[in-house]
Amino acid sequence: SLAGLDLREEIDRLRMERNAVILAHYYQKPELQDLADFVGDSLELSKKAAETDADVIAFCGVKFMADTAKILSPEKIVVLPDMEAGCSLEDSCPPEKFAAFRERHPDHIALTYINCSTEVKALSDVIVTSSSAETILSQIPEDQKIIFGPDRHLGGYLNRKFGRDMLLWPGVCIVHEAFSERELLKLKAEHPEAPIAAHPECPPHIIDHADYVGSTSGILNFAKTFPGDTLIVATEPHIIHQMEKALPEKIFLGAPGADGNCNCNICPYMALNNLEKLYLCLRDLEPRIEIEEGLRLKARASLDRMLEMAA
């Protein structure tokens, strides 16, 4: 039984003993963000995973993120506190269907959001994250035909912003899909001076009201620099933890769902990780990410292209 254990102390002890680094995404519970060695967006976490000289990476995030860490750092042990921590975007895009989609469009390259399986990465030409997508797309010639998957909202946002007509895979993030335009406008009416910062995984009826659109680290940066005292945040609400830490005198309001509060926008996959499971995965070095080498090398090629083009 774990009763009586000081989990934070045990995690610190195991982190030393195992020479482990704990990486956490901004959508993780505050207690996990606070004990992580590094907290970041998907691109920053990929870079950290590629660079670290730790022997073990404990990834407080979802499976595609831990898979990415393993693809980039195959010699390391990569553990995920809960293997069931998936992603609706990954689920929307089964590799065999994605392969068939590519075959129907042989003159298109595949620009693919990092929120997908290793198999889909292996079938893609260039991976992007929300913080690197704009830089990368701007390096691809205007006349190059492109398939973009699996997030149709991020793809649609990029199409509108850059006047492109990428073919979109029909996936969505269930978290960002749950924001209510009606409730957002009600909140905005109560705080007319508060800007709205939104993640590009939001549908267009939310993005259209945003003063700033960007990745989690982009939104956090906007929160640290906007001139007012109240900000409406249209992304997974756990990121507000970092905002409140950095700017305790300001007010951060999570954009609401249809029920008028922001709790329905908590990512159910990210929420599977907790202190106890982090402790257990550091203790047992399980559950562990394993990827077949041929598949890994193919996925690595499209990720390396991202890291080169995003630099």
Annotated binding site for iminosuccinate: 25, 42, 113-115, 130, 199-201, 216
Given the complex with ligand 13P, which of 89 and 275 has the nearer CB atom? Answer: 89
Taking the CA of residue 309 as centre, how many other CA atoms within 13 Å lie in the half-sphere pointing to its CB? Answer: 22
**Could you give the CA distance from residue 23 to residue 28 in angstroms, rounded to a whole number?**
10
Instruction: Tell me which amino acid residue 33 is.
Output: Q
What are the two backbone dihedrals, phi and then psi, of residue 55, each rounded to the nearest 5 degrees?
-90, -25
Question: Pattern 165-184, binding to ligand SF4, x per CB under 6 A?
Answer: --------xxx---------
Among 24, 270, 299, 306, binds ligand SF4 (CB under 6 A): 270
Of residues 39-68, those binding ligand 13P (CB under 6 A) = 41-43
Of residues 11-50, those binding ligand SF4 (CB under 6 A) = 27
Strand segments, DSSP code E, in the chain are 20-25, 38-40, 56-60, 77-79, 109-113, 126-128, 146-149, 167-168, 196-198, 212-213, 230-234, 251-254
Say whether 173 sits in a helix, a strand or coil: coil
**Could you give the CA distance from residue 179 to residue 265 in angstroms, rounded to a whole number?**
7
Q: Which does 269 bind (CB under 5 to 8 A by kind): ligand SF4, ligand 13P, none?
A: ligand SF4
Residue 60 binds ligand SF4 (CB under 6 A): no
**Minimum gap (Å) between residue 197 Cβ and ligand SF4:** 16
**Could you give the CA distance from residue 173 to residue 155 in angstroms, rounded to a whole number?**
12
Count of CB atoms situated within 10 Å of the CB of 291: 18
Given the complex with ligand 13P, which of 269 and 279 has the nearer CB atom? Answer: 269
b (16+ CB within 10 A) / e for 33-66: bebbeebbbbbbbbbbbeebebebbbbbbbbbbb
Known binding-site positions: 25, 42, 87, 113-115, 130, 173, 199-201, 216, 267
DSSP-assigned beta bridge partners for residue 110: 147
Among 215, 242, 273, 302, binds ligand 13P (CB under 6 A): 215
Q: Which does 88 bind (CB under 5 to 8 A by kind): ligand SF4, ligand 13P, none?
A: ligand SF4
Residue 87 binds ligand SF4 (CB under 6 A): yes
Nearest to 47 by CA among 73, 26, 20, 16: 73
Residue 33 binds ligand 13P (CB under 6 A): no
Residue 28 binds ligand 13P (CB under 6 A): no
**Could you give the CA distance from residue 275 to residue 263 in angstroms, rounded to a whole number?**
20
Among 28, 118, 216, 242, binds ligand 13P (CB under 6 A): 216
Judged by CB under 6 A, the stretch of 16-24, 75-83, 125-133, 272-280 that binds ligand 13P is 125-133
Tokens at 139, concatenated: 């390096």
Of residues 63-122, those binding ligand 13P (CB under 6 A) = 115
User: What is the sign, positive or negative, of the torsion defined by CA atoms of 44, 45, 49, 55?
Assistant: positive
**Could you give the CA distance from residue 66 to residue 235 in angstroms, rounded to a whole number?**
21
Among 68, 88, 217, 302, binds ligand SF4 (CB under 6 A): 88
Q: Which does 216 bind (CB under 5 to 8 A by kind): ligand 13P, ligand SF4, none?
A: ligand 13P
Given the complex with ligand 13P, which of 14 and 265 has the nearer CB atom? Answer: 265
Summarize as ranges the residues that interact with ligand SF4 (CB under 6 A): 27, 62, 87-89, 115, 173-175, 201, 236, 267, 269-270
Summarize as ranges the residues that interact with ligand 13P (CB under 6 A): 41-43, 115, 129-131, 173, 201, 215-216
